[in-house]
C-alpha cells in the first residue's frame, strides 16, 4: 500500500467536488485522456504539443505527476488531500482506476475514484509528516518518516507519534520536495499554541485577540458556561454593539453542527447580537453549510483563522501574551508556481 498526496487546486477550489464525488483529481484538462498513453516519453511529447510555450523543465515535472496519477496510483493505495479552506487533511483509499470524465467541470476531468475514510485536524498529525504533506506538487508519493504506516494507524483510531529523528532533509530523489514554506511555518505556530494554550488558556488567547480588535471582554469562569466562554462588546464598558457570544472548543477533533446550533440557541440569553465559534480542531464540512444559513449572525474560526488573526493583531497583544508566544516576521522567496 502506497500513500499519495493529491491536491485539489492551488486555493482549494476543487475540494468540495473531490469530497462530495468521492474522487481525487488533477487539472491539465487540455492534455486529454491519458488512458491510451503507454509510455512516459509519449506523455511528455503530448505535453509539448499541448503546452508549446512551457519550459521543458516544467513539462517534465508535469509529466511525472500525470504519469503517477494515470499509471502508478493503484487500487487500495492511500491518498491524502490537504484542504485549503479548513486546517484539515482528508484521507481515503483508492477505489478504482484512472478515468477521464469529459462531462466533469473544468479542471476536474482527470480523476481517480476514492472512498474517503476520515478527516483529521493538522494538529493531530506530527510535524515531520506535515512537512512531507506540505509538498507543493499536485500529485506525489509520500514516503518519509514511516508515513504509510502512521496514516493507517490514524485511520484505525490511534494517536500519531512523530519520529524521534525525523527525516525532513530535502532529497533531490524524493518526490515530496518543494514544500510550502508558509504552511510549514503556520503548522509550527499551531503546534506551539496547541502545547502552550490548552483549554482555558486558549480562551485567554482568543480574548486577547478580541481586545486587540477593539472589544471589551469578559471570560466566563471555568465550569458550566451555559454554552458561552467569552462575552464581548464595543466601547469602554462593553455595552456598545456588536455584542458577541463566543464559544471556544480546544479539542483537536473537528466539531459538528451541534456546536453552531448550541451557540445560536444561547445568544439571546446573553443579549448577544452575533456569535463566534472558535474550533481549534476545525469543523466538519456540514458545519460550514449550517453556518452559511447564519451568515449575518455567526462566524467560524478554526486554527488557521485564529493564527491569521493572531498575526494581524500581534503588535497590539499584551506583553505577557507576546512573551508566551514569541513570533517574528520573516521574508521568504516564493517558488515559481510551475
With a cut of 60, say whether residue 338 has pLDDT above it.
no
> What per-residue confidence (pLDDT) applies to 178?
59
What was the pLDDT predicted at 219? 92
Neighbours of 37 (CB within 10 A): 19
Note whether 127 and 202 are same-domain residues.
Answer: no
Asked whether the predicted pLDDT for residue 42 surpasses 90, the reply is yes
| Residues paired with residue 120 on neighbouring β-strands, in sequence order | 89
Query: What's this model's pTM, rounded to 2 decimal places?
Result: 0.69
Pick from 122, 7, 87: nearest CA to 305: 87
Query: Quick one: pLDDT at residue 164?
Result: 66
Q: Name the residue among 337, 235, 7 with its Cα closest to residue 142.
A: 7
pLDDT of 179 above 80? no
User: Residue written as cell 510550502?
Assistant: 180
One domain, residues 223 and 261: yes
Do 308 and 254 share a domain, yes or no?
yes
Q: What is the predicted pLDDT for the residue at 171? A: 45
Note down the domain range covering 80: 3-179
Contact 39, 117 (CB under 8 A): no
Q: Does 150 share its domain with 273?
A: no
Same domain membership, residue 157 and residue 283: no
Last residue of a domain, one of 118, 148, 179: 179
Q: Indicate if 313 and 219 belong to the same structural domain.
A: yes
Share of the chain above pLDDT 90, in %: 59
Establish if 253 belongs to a structural domain.
yes
Identify whether residues 254 and 121 lie together within a single domain: no
189-210: pLDDT as tens digits: 988 998 899 888 999 999 999 9
Average pLDDT of the chain, as a whole number: 88
The pLDDT of residue 170: 47
Question: Distance between CA 136 and CA 162 in Å, rounded?
Answer: 22
244 and 278 housed in the same domain: yes
**Residue 158, domain member (yes or no):** yes
Least confident of 7-16, 172-181, 203-212, 229-238: 172-181
pLDDT at 39 over 90: yes
Given a cut of 50, whether residue 185 has pLDDT beyond it is yes
Scored b (16 or more CB within 10 A) or e, 254-279 reads bbeeebbebbbebbeebebebbbbbb
Based on the fold, state whether residues 171 and 200 are members of the same structural domain: no
pLDDT at 316: 95
Q: How far is CA 207 from the centre of its chain?
A: 24
Domain count, the chain: 2
What pLDDT, on a 0 to 100 scale, did the predictor assign at position 291? 83
> Which tens digits make up the pLDDT trace of 50-90?
999 999 999 999 999 999 999 999 999 999 999 988 888 99
Same domain, 13 and 160: yes
Closest among 165, 223, 227, 175 to 199, alpha carbons compared: 223
Amino acid at each position: 500500500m502506497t500513500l499519495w498526496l493529491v491536491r485539489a487546486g492551488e486555493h482549494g477550489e476543487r475540494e468540495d467536488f473531490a469530497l462530495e464525488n468521492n474522487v481525487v483529481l488533477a487539472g491539465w484538462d487540455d492534455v486529454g485522456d491519458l488512458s491510451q498513453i503507454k509510455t512516459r516519453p509519449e506523455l511528455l511529447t503530448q505535453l509539448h504539443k499541448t503546452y508549446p510555450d512551457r519550459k521543458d523543465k516544467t513539462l517534465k515535472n508535469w509529466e511525472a505527476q500525470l504519469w503517477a496519477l494515470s499509471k502508478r496510483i493503484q487500487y487500495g493505495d492511500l491518498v491524502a488531500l490537504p484542504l485549503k479552506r479548513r486546517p484539515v487533511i482528508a484521507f481515503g483509499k483508492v477505489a478504482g482506476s484512472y478515468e477521464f470524465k469529459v462531462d466533469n467541470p473544468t479542471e476536474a476531468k482527470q480523476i481517480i475514484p476514492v472512498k474517503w475514510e476520515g478527516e483529521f485536524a493538522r494538529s493531530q498529525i506530527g510535524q515531520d509528516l506535515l512537512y512531507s504533506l506540505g509538498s507543493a506538487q499536485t500529485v506525489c508519493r509520500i514516503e518519509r518518516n514511516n508515513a504509510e504506516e502512521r496514516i493507517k494507524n490514524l485511520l484505525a483510531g490511534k494517536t500519531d507519534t512523530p519520529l524521534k529523528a525525523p527525516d525532513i532533509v530535502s532529497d533531490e530523489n524524493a518526490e515530496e520536495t518543494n514544500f510550502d514554506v508558509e504552511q510549514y511555518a503556520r503548522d509550527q505556530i499551531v503546534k506551539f499554541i496547541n502545547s502552550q494554550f490548552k483549554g482555558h488558556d486558549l480562551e485567554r488567547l482568543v480574548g486577547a485577540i478580541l481586545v486587540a480588535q477593539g472589544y471589551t471582554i469578559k471570560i466566563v469562569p471555568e465550569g458550566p458556561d451555559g454554552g458561552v466562554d467569552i462575552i464581548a462588546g464595543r466601547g469602554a464598558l462593553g455595552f456598545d454593539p456588536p455584542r458577541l457570544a463566543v464559544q471556544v472548543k480546544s479539542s483537536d477533533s473537528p466539531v459538528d453542527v451541534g456546536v453552531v446550533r448550541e451557540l445560536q440557541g444561547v445568544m439571546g440569553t446573553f443579549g448577544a447580537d452575533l456569535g463566534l465559534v472558535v474550533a481549534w480542531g476545525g469543523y466538519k464540512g456540514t458545519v460550514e453549510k449550517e453556518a452559511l444559513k447564519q451568515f449575518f449572525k455567526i462566524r467560524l474560526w478554526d486554527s488557521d483563522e485564529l493564527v491569521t488573526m493572531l498575526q494581524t493583531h500581534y503588535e497590539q497583544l499584551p506583553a505577557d501574551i507576546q512573551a508566551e508566544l514569541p513570533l517574528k516576521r520573516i521574508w521568504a522567496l516564493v517558488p515559481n508556481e510551475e
